[in-house]
DNA sequence: TCTGCCGGGAG
DNA sequence: CTCCCGGCAGA
């Protein structure tokens, strides 16, 4: 659906300047319906391109598409590099529009990718392409590609109210713009030794662990509970220099969609003087798997409980959330997904959409947080195997209840 | 037998 | 604290 839409929009646009085919290609590849989006969008429910970051490229790229048949691969870079003076203005406008649209539906990234079933391998790749090229780890790469799509739809359905996402989307964009090539480094550097709050909807980054814990405890867990003391760990992650190695990292650069959405809703979370927003930018461009992973691990946890609560239609109580809720959407992805994906998909879904309500729901989170016996979900061990133990979530590594793939 | 994770321990 | 692991219980 998204695909169709996108085509129409962009295609039309394209035709004016160039061949429609190119336009189409674009659309398919990158799912750029931005144009379209810009026009129509003001409502949350639209599917966005696979990566907020990507949005730009498209727009910009479109204009220079002559040169590039498949901008997707380098989508991130294009926008600024090849911009022609004329297009600048357009770009700005586009950018504004995109931002606007994004703001409404941050989570949006994947639909395009998913829908274009028929598309040749190349086409599907928009998101996947990137992944694959750098993705040494086939797993993650496609996983996310396919997985992420899931969330978006869910978002659409589930989340009628995307209030917060907005910030997020905007942020992403801004960051991209602000932290370009050189800038990005600077931004990145900030991330070193920082701790990022993984609480859904809160992307807060603090430089001190203690501070972060406090932040989590007070803002998210609630200062009272004793348990919370122990739990803070799971709600934040250390942001290290790893993020930086944009190019080098073998990992796929999946669009940061899901994660970012979850991470960067600062709006609600109080701003600390210490706050730094590097990660998101980094992620948006090319997130090293490691980082992403880290985030995800915690995300699962953070988002999980809430998600359950939120799902409107789902009667899912804390007790049996995953199975019921999960199956449906994931299936879409399932096609190419491997066994592992289940958990990941879940995560994806949660992380993105959840946010807005997260905040409100957060208080109640306590219920679900504790573990039950064995769930169906595959745990890190199964997913990664013992050999790749280093990729397990910390809990699993320590033989504790898995945080990444909660039941 | 494998897997997930509690409970406990070492550093 | 962080990091491990013995060992139990469920599948």
For residue A208, the tally of other CB atoms under 10 A from its CB is 13
Which of the nucleotides lies closest to A386 (Cα–C1')?
Answer: B3
- Helix residue ranges, H only, A105-242: 111-114, 121-134, 138-147, 151-158, 165-178, 181-191, 209-215, 227-231
End-to-end CA distance of chain A: 32
Is residue A214's beta carbon less than 7 angstroms from any atom in nucleic acid strand C?
A: no
* Mean of per-residue pLDDT scores for chain A: 43
Q: For residue A238, give the 3-state DSSP assignment.
A: strand
Distance CA A67 to C1' C8 in A? 64
Joined together, the tokens standing for residue A59 give: 């727009």
- Please count the CA atoms within 13 angstroms of the CA of A246 that sit on its side-chain side: 20
Closest CA to A395 of A225, A235, A207, A216: A235
Is residue A209's beta carbon less than 7 angstroms from any atom in nucleic acid strand B?
A: no
Is residue A233's beta carbon less than 7 angstroms from any atom in nucleic acid strand C?
A: yes
Rounded Cα gap, residues A24 and A160, in angstroms: 29
Is residue A373's beta carbon less than 7 angstroms from any atom in nucleic acid strand C?
A: yes
User: How much of chain A is in helix, strand and coil states, percent to nearest 5?
Assistant: 65, 0, 35
pLDDT of A385 reads: 80
> Which strand C nucleotides have any atom less than 7 A from protein CB atoms?
1-7, 10-11
C1' of nucleotide C3: residue with nearest CA: A398
Residues of chain A with pLDDT under 50: 1-88, 103-192, 224-229, 241-372
Which of the nucleotides lies closest to A400 (Cα–C1')?
Answer: B5
Burial A4-29 (b: 16+ CB within 10 A, else e): ebbbbbbbebbeeeeeeebbbbbbbb
Rounded Cα gap, residues A167 and A266, in angstroms: 7
List CB contacts of A45: < 8 A, sequence separation 6 or more.
A105, A155, A156, A160
- Residue the block writes with tokens 């996402």: A165
| Phi, psi (degrees; rounded to nearest 5) at A164 | -75, -40
Rounded Cα gap, residues A193 and A249, in angstroms: 19
H or E segment and range at residue A72 = none
pLDDT of A223 reads: 52
Is residue A398's beta carbon less than 7 angstroms from any atom in nucleic acid strand B?
A: yes
Is residue A394's beta carbon less than 7 angstroms from any atom in nucleic acid strand C?
A: yes
Is residue A399's beta carbon less than 7 angstroms from any atom in nucleic acid strand C?
A: yes
Q: Which residues pair with A237 in a beta bridge?
A: A196
Domain boundaries, chain A: 2-125, 165-365
Q: Compute the C-alpha angle A384/A389/A394, nearest 5°.
A: 105
pLDDT of A328 reads: 33
> Which strand B nucleotides have any atom less than 7 A from protein CB atoms?
3-8
Closest CA to A212 of A165, A162, A275, A264: A275
Is residue A396's beta carbon less than 7 angstroms from any atom in nucleic acid strand B?
A: yes
- Residue the block writes with tokens 């946010």: A355
Which of the nucleotides lies closest to A394 (Cα–C1')?
Answer: C3
H or E segment and range at residue A237 = strand A236-239
Distance CA A268 to C1' C3 in A? 34
Is residue A381's beta carbon less than 7 angstroms from any atom in nucleic acid strand B?
A: yes
C1' of nucleotide C4: residue with nearest CA: A398
Is residue A297's beta carbon less than 7 angstroms from any atom in nucleic acid strand B?
A: no
Q: Give per-residue pLDDT as tens, A229-251.
A: 455 666 677 665 443 333 333 33
């Amino acid at each position: 659906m998204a695909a169709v839409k996108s085509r129409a929009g962009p295609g039309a646009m394209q035709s004016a300047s160039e061949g429609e085919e190119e336009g189409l290609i674009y659309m398919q590849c990158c799912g750029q319906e931005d144009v379209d989006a810009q026009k129509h969008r003001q409502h949350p429910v639209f599917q966005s391109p696979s990566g907020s970051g990507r949005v730009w490229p498209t727009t910009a790229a479109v204009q220079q598409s002559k040169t590039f048949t498949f901008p997707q691969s380098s989508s991130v870079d294009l926008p600024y590099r090849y911009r022609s003076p004329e297009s600048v203005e357009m770009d700005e406008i586009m950018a504004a529009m995109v931002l606007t649209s994004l703001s409404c539906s941050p989570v949006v990234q994947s639909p395009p990718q998913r829908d274009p079933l028929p598309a040749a391998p190349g086409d599907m790749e928009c998101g996947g392409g990137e992944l694959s090229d750098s993705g040494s780890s086939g797993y993650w790469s496609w996983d996310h590609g396919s997985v992420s799509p899931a969330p978006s739809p869910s978002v659409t359905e589930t989340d009628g109210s995307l209030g917060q996402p907005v910030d997020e989307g905007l942020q992403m964009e801004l960051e991209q713009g602000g932290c370009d090539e050189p800038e990005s480094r600077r931004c990145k550097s900030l991330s070193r030794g920082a701790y990022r709050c993984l609480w859904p909807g809160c992307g807060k980054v603090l430089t001190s662990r203690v501070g972060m814990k406090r932040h989590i405890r007070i803002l998210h867990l609630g200062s009272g509970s004793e348990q919370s003391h122990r739990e803070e760990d799971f709600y934040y992650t250390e942001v290290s220099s790893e993020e930086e190695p944009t190019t080098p990292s073998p990992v796929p650069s999946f669009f940061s969609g899901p994660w970012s959405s979850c991470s960067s809703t600062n709006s609600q979370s109080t701003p600390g003087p210490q706050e730094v927003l590097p990660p998101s930018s980094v992620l948006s461009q090319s997130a090293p798997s490691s980082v992403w992973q880290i985030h995800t691990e915690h995300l699962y946890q953070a988002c999980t409980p809430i998600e359950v609560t939120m799902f409107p239609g789902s009667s899912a109580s804390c007790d049996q959330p995953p199975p019921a809720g999960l199956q449906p959407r994931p299936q879409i992805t399932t096609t190419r997904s491997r066994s592992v994906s289940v958990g990941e998909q879940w995560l994806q879904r949660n992380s993105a959409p959840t946010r807005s309500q997260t905040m409100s729901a957060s208080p109640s989170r306590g219920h679900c947080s504790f573990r039950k016996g064995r769930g169906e979900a595959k745990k890190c061990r199964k997913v990664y195997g013992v050999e790749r133990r280093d990729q397990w979530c910390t809990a699993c590594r320590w033989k504790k209840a898995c945080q990444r793939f909660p039941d």
